[in-house]
Amino acid sequence: SQTIHQWPATLVQPVGSPLSLECTVEGTSNPNLYWYRQAAGRGLQLLFYSVGIGQISSEVPQNLSASRPQDRQFILSSKKLLLSDSGFYLCAWSPSGTGEYYEQYFGPGTRLTVT
């Protein structure tokens, strides 16, 4: 069966510090991968998605970047965090090529607080 991992689970970082959040998926190959942010009182906002290694699409202009160095690894980064980057970051995956018929499966999330 497939599982999705995220770490760290929680993170407190000062403004201006760098960020690296990691997401890995097990039990499947060539998944579609997604990064979402959930701010307080708001729905999930899609930040990035990837359909393959090195293929990243950005949904909103922002202070963050994403990379996919391996098939089942998705990394969210920032060089300098802003207060507005605080939130709950969720990674998700869906099977490739059949996205219309499958839901997205979410990881446990990382709660980031920028101080």
Partner 1 sequence: EDKVVQSPLSLVVHEGDTVTLNCSYEVTNFRSLLWYKQEKKAPTFLFMLTSSGIEKKSGRLSSILDKKELFSILNITATQTGDSAVYLCAVKWYSGGSNYKLTFGKGTLLTVNP
Binding residues vs partner 1 (CB under 8 A): 32, 41-46, 49, 51, 90, 94, 96-97, 99-100, 103-109
Nearer to partner 1, 13 or 38 (CB): 38
Two tokens at 60? Answer: 């909103």
Nearer to partner 1, 67 or 95 (CB): 95
Extract the runs of DSSP E, i.e. beta strands, from the chain. 3-7, 10-13, 19-26, 32-38, 44-52, 55-58, 65-70, 73-78, 87-94, 105-106, 110-114
102/59 Cα distance (integer angstroms): 21
Two tokens at 94? Answer: 């869906």
- In whole angstroms, the minimum distance from the beta carbon of 61 to partner 1 comes to 16
Nearer to partner 1, 42 or 69 (CB): 42
- In whole angstroms, the minimum distance from the beta carbon of 42 to partner 1 comes to 6
- In whole angstroms, the minimum distance from the beta carbon of 83 to partner 1 comes to 21
